[in-house]
Amino acid sequence: MIVRSLQEARRGRRRIVSDGWESTRLLLESDKMGFSFHITTIYRNAELHLHYQNHLESVYCISGYGEIKNEEDGQVYPIQPGTIYLLDKNDKHILYGHTEMEMACVFNPPLHGTEVHNESGAYELVAEKITD
């Protein structure tokens, strides 16, 4: 059994801060569950150009407001508490944070721990592992 608290994880190496966002990685590849689980904060006025070429992701909005734009067809979808979006086709997208948004994110394959977005907006498949 694995038990972790968000507050404790935020004080350690599991909290990753980058441009426009921060993510606390509660479950990682080293936990051997087959996916990773993160609580991610998208900062107010963030505009994130993302393209997870190596991962599938599901995102559930806990709080805040924003939009996601599918770059393939130009469709824009509102994000608010209770909204889930699924990047089931490695969708290239833009995420807009109109307010600060708290999101619950699941990645498959799981992240190792220290990943930040590369120049194309993706996470690499290999990164420094966090184990604890």
CATH number at residue 95: 2.60.120.10
Asked, for residue 21, whether it belongs to a domain, the answer is yes
Asked, for residue 128, whether it belongs to a domain, the answer is no
pTM of the model: 0.92
Asked, for residue 118, whether it belongs to a domain, the answer is no
Range of the domain at 84: 6-108
pLDDT tens-place string over residues 57-112: 999 999 999 999 999 999 999 999 999 999 999 999 999 999 999 999 999 999 99
Asked, for residue 25, whether it belongs to a domain, the answer is yes
Asked, for residue 84, whether it belongs to a domain, the answer is yes
Asked, for residue 1, whether it belongs to a domain, the answer is no
Split into its structural domains, the chain has a count of 1
pLDDT tens-place string over residues 7-43: 999 999 999 999 999 999 999 999 999 999 999 999 9
Asked, for residue 129, whether it belongs to a domain, the answer is no
Q: What is the DSSP string of the chain?
A: -----HHHHHTSTTEEEETTEEEEEEE-GGG-SSSEEEEEEEPTT-EEEEE-SS-EEEEEEEE--EEEEETTT--EEEE-TT-EEEETT--EEEEEESS-EEEEEEEESPP-B-----TTS---S---B---
Asked, for residue 114, whether it belongs to a domain, the answer is no
